[in-house]
Structure formats: C-alpha cells, structure tokens
C-alpha cells in the first residue's frame, strides 16, 4: 500500500452515476450525456485532474462499457489508447482508466519479531483481540453471526482448513447442478465455493492457498477446539483476486466486488488497497452498498494521514463503508496504521492476531488487514442479534459502541462488541 495519489479526497462531483469520488469537476457535463475523452478517461489530462500514474501497470488499460462489460486493452501509451480505442468507441464507453495494481498491506519485519517473541514467551495470548472487544459476551448471549454471509475478497484461503471448511457458504445452485455446467448462469462454471479472479477459475480443494486470505477468513468465522474467530456461526464466500505474492489489479477487484454483490452477501471484507483514481472500482463498490451490503476495509500500513495522502478503497466515503485502523495489545494505535479524523472510522485489534494459516496451521499475523475482519465479524454478530435491522443501523451501532481512546480516527475509539450490541438492542429494531 505504498502507491498513493496526491489529490484531495474532497475533490468530488455531483454526478448521479458516481457521486462519491473520482469524477473531476470538469467532467460534470458528462452527466448530461456530453461525452468526451476527458469525461470517460479523466486521468488523460493530469493538469485538470488527479495524478494517477504512480501505480499504473504500463501498457494495460481497462474499459467499462455502457453494457457493464469490462474489457482490458493493450496500448503502449495514453495517446495510443485514446486514438485507437476511446475515440472510435466513445459512445460505447462508460469509463476508461489505466490498469492499476492493488496490494496486500504489509508490516515490515513482523515475521522476525513474532519468531523472537514466541521464542522468549513474550507473544500475547492468542485471543487478546476477542477479549479486548468483549466478543465472548456476545457469544455467551448466543449471538455468533448465525444467518449472516460475508464475502472475503482477498487471496485464496485454505478452504480445506478444519477451522474454515464447515463455514463456507456453498453455492446451492452449483451444488445441485451438473459438473462443468454454469448451473446458476452467472458466467462462471462450477463456482461451488467461490471464484479466483486472478486465475479466472473456481476455488477448489486443489487451489493454491495463501496465508493472508486464510488468516483474514479465520478471524471472522474460524473455530477450532478452544479458539474461535469473532463470528463462528456466520458463513463466508472466498473470493480471490490477489496472487500469493499479494498483488492484484483493478479488474480483479472490480469483478470480485461484482461477484460478491451477485451472491447477495451481507458484508464484504476488503483487507487490501493502495490504488488510486479508479472510477470503475468505485462504481462496483457503490453498487454493492446501494444493495445494502456493508463494505469493511483496512486503512493501510504506511503510518500516514489519509486526509493528506489518500488511497483506496480506504479513502472512499460510501454510506455503508467502514474503514478500520489497527491497535496493539497495549491498546495503543499501531504506529504503522494509517489514520484520519475523517476517512478512518474506528480502530480494532490488528497486531499479533492469532488465526488460521494454510495447511491446517495457526499463527500470528499483524496489520490493518487483521483489524478489518474484527469489524466484519462484529457486524455479523450484530445482524444475528437484530436480523431486521437496517445495514445503516448496524453500522451506526459499531460507531456508538466504540471504547473511546482518543485515537486519530473519526470515532476516536476502538471496537467494543458488547457496547455495540447493547446500543443496538436498545433501539428495538425488530
């Protein structure tokens, strides 16, 4: 998550199609069907818009057509892309942008630090995050995420892991259908468990599993012997677009969000980011939230102020979005965690978090990637307690229940599931 654009997050447009970011003020007339190269490909003119070149993948471009299809294009430079693709097809193009990379946020040196602390018996207890957030109070009152489905958009988790395998929301249309057939007619054959958009194939027990997606999934729904994640009776859909090296791109992310939306999940967990200037990704997330899906994302691990150095999806401001910073076992905000009084909503445990790893292992990982799934699991708990509560009310309950610590986040506080539950149940949403 080191590549960021340098433009202000307040640079907004009032266009009804995409009201929440990225459309330059100059593109306002495009809302009146006055298309131009600048209106469909705003980054083509950096003198009037944001600088989007920092994390672009040279030679690759992405087009979203008016029929919603996404098309990748090879072109040596912007001028060739404009002349060979945009101008001849302007009426068919809704948005166009350079392809950009997306990365898993990392915390440098963490693995060495874990090895040292485990060897000297200084590592925190495995469930410290659940204790701090009072997760077990919810479990004791039988609120464990029952009936809730979360899309984990990440790298491919180990779906054979004993702590995760029973928690997958199996695609019933494919389960009851025929092999090698697109039984649910969504264009994806045999997406029984989920889909890998980095390889464009279904996730199966023969997939190449990765620790990051496995760890994030376990924090939300995992359970094994005397350990459990936050919402152990919720279900999850594994959706991957990040390769084992932690890299993906805008196309994979947009398709992953679109797929999650089509599976009618309640929550999307997005523990990744760093991309800038992507109206295509923004529109897919907006469509998900318009359908009532809560979107939870990591704030990032550069230790910067997102008000000054925004990147996405952390810096989006969708009404059903929650952006999460990371705290340490000491209850201080982690030094590497990005923060913002406007764009980051709250903090959650994110350092030395114990969860599932591939090949039926468990272990510690650290970062805002681990903090976001604590909030996704908390939302699942809240929804299991108040199934008829609106997504907006569930989001408000998360904020109302924070343990105020004077962090540099909008609520100033850290996730507290007990307090959020008590506030929500007092609203009597049912």
Per the domain annotation, does 2 fall within a domain? no
**Separation between Cα atoms, residue 251 and residue 198, nearest integer Å:** 9
Q: Considering 66, 100, 134, which residue would you say is the last residue of a domain?
A: 100
Residues 248 and 344 in one domain: yes
Which spans in 55-145 are helix H? 78-81, 110-119, 128-132, 135-140
Residues 127 and 203 in one domain: yes
Active site residue 154: yes
Active site residue 78: no
Per the domain annotation, does 13 fall within a domain? no
Catalytic residue chosen out of the listed positions 30, 98, 139, 154? 154
Q: Considering 39, 73, 100, which residue would you say is the last residue of a domain?
A: 100
Catalytic residue chosen out of the listed positions 5, 30, 196, 212? 212
pLDDT of the residue at 381 = 98
pLDDT of the residue at 110 = 47
Range of the structural domain that residue 54 is part of: 25-100
Which spans in 88-162 are helix H? 110-119, 128-132, 135-140
pLDDT of the residue at 313 = 93
Residues 116 and 157 in one domain: yes
**Separation between Cα atoms, residue 355 and residue 389, nearest integer Å:** 29
pLDDT tens column, 304-351:
999 998 889 999 999 999 999 999 999 999 999 999 999 999 999 999
What pLDDT tens digit does each residue of the chain (430 aa) get?
323 222 222 222 333 333 334 443 233 334 446 889 988 998 877 665 555 556 789 999 999 999 999 999 999 999 999 999 999 999 999 999 999 988 876 654 445 455 545 545 567 888 999 999 999 999 999 999 999 999 999 999 999 999 999 999 999 988 888 888 887 888 899 999 999 999 999 999 999 999 999 999 999 999 999 899 999 999 999 999 998 888 899 999 999 999 999 999 999 999 998 766 688 999 999 999 999 999 999 999 999 999 998 889 999 999 999 999 999 999 999 999 999 999 999 999 999 999 999 999 999 999 999 999 999 999 999 999 999 999 999 999 999 999 999 999 999 999 999 999 999 999 966 6
**Separation between Cα atoms, residue 384 and residue 120, nearest integer Å:** 40
pTM equals 0.90
pLDDT of the residue at 63 = 96
Residues 318 and 362 in one domain: yes
- What are the two backbone dihedrals, phi and then psi, of residue 93, each rounded to the nearest 5 degrees? -100, 130
Residues 128 and 33 in one domain: no
The answer to whether 297 touches 267, Cβ cutoff 8 Å, is no
Per the domain annotation, does 12 fall within a domain? no
- Enter the tokens of residue 19: 């009201």
Per the domain annotation, does 414 fall within a domain? yes
The answer to whether 407 touches 413, Cβ cutoff 8 Å, is yes
Per the domain annotation, does 77 fall within a domain? yes
Residue with the two structure tokens 């919402």: 231
Residues 92 and 216 in one domain: no
Residues 78 and 213 in one domain: no
Q: Considering 49, 81, 100, which residue would you say is the last residue of a domain?
A: 100
Residues 372 and 250 in one domain: yes
Q: Is the N-terminal amide bond of 178 cis, ω within 30° of 0?
A: no
Active site residue 182: no
Per the domain annotation, does 297 fall within a domain? yes
Output the domain CATH number for residue 260. 3.40.50.200
Q: How many residues does the chain have?
A: 430
The answer to whether 231 touches 220, Cβ cutoff 8 Å, is yes
How many angstroms separate the Cα of 60 from the Cα of each of 53, 76, 81, 389?
12, 8, 9, 43
Catalytic residue chosen out of the listed positions 198, 369, 384, 420? 369
Residues 61 and 204 in one domain: no
Per the domain annotation, does 347 fall within a domain? yes
Q: State how many domains the chain has.
A: 2
Residues 64 and 114 in one domain: no
Per the domain annotation, does 378 fall within a domain? yes
Residues 155 and 122 in one domain: yes
pLDDT tens column, 67-106:
999 999 999 999 999 999 999 999 999 999 999 988 876 6
pLDDT of the residue at 44 = 79
Residues 87 and 130 in one domain: no
**Separation between Cα atoms, residue 127 and residue 223, nearest integer Å:** 12
């Amino acid at each position: 998550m080191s590549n960021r654009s340098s433009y202000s997050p307040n640079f907004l447009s009032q266009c009804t199609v995409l009201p929440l970011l990225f459309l330059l003020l100059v593109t306002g007339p495009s809302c009146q069907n006055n298309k131009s190269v600048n209106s469909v490909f705003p980054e083509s003119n950096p003198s009037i818009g944001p600088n989007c070149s920092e994390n672009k993948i040279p030679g690759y471009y992405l087009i979203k057509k008016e029929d919603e299809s996404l098309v990748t294009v090879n072109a040596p430079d912007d001028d060739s892309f404009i002349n060979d693709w945009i101008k001849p097809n302007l009426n068919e193009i809704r948005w166009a942008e350079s392809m950009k990379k997306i990365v898993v946020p990392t915390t440098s040196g963490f693995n060495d630090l874990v090895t040292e602390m485990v060897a000297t018996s200084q590592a925190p207890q495995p469930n410290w995050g659940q204790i701090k957030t009072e997760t077990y109070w919810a479990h004791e009152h039988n609120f464990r995420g029952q009936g809730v489905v979360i899309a984990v958009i990440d790298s491919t988790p180990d779906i054979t892991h004993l702590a995760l395998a029973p928690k997958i929301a199996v695609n019933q249309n494919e389960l009851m259908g025929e092999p090698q057939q697109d039984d649910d007619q969504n264009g994806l054959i045999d997406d029984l468990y989920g889909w890998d958009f980095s390889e464009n194939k279904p996730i199966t027990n023969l997939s190449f599993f990765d620790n990051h997606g496995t760890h994030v999934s376990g924090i939300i729904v995992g359970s094994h012997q005397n350990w459990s994640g936050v919402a152990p009776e919720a279900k999850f859909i594994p959706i991957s677009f990040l390769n084992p090296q932690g890299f993906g791109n805008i196309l994979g992310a947009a398709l992953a969000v679109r797929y999650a939306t089509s599976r009618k999940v309640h929550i999307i967990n997005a523990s990744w980011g760093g991309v800038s200037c992507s109206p295509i990704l923004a529109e897919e997330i907006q469509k998900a939230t318009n359908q009532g899906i809560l979107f939870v994302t990591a704030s990032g691990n550069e230790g910067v102020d997102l008000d000054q150095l925004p990147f996405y999806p952390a810096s989006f401001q969708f009404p059903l979005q929650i952006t999460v910073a990371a705290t340490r076992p000491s209850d201080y905000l982690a030094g590497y965690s990005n923060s913002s009084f406007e764009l980051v909503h709250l903090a959650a445990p994110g350092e030395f978090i114990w969860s599932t790893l591939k090949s039926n292992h468990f272990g510690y990982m650290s970062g805002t990637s681990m903090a976001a799934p604590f909030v996704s699991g908390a939302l699942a708990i809240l929804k299991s307690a108040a199934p008829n509560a609106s997504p907006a009310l569930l989001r408000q309950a998360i904020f109302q229940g924070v343990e105020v610590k004077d962090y540099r986040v909008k609520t100033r506080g850290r996730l507290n599931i007990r307090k959020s539950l008590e506030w929500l149940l007092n609203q009597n949403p049912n």
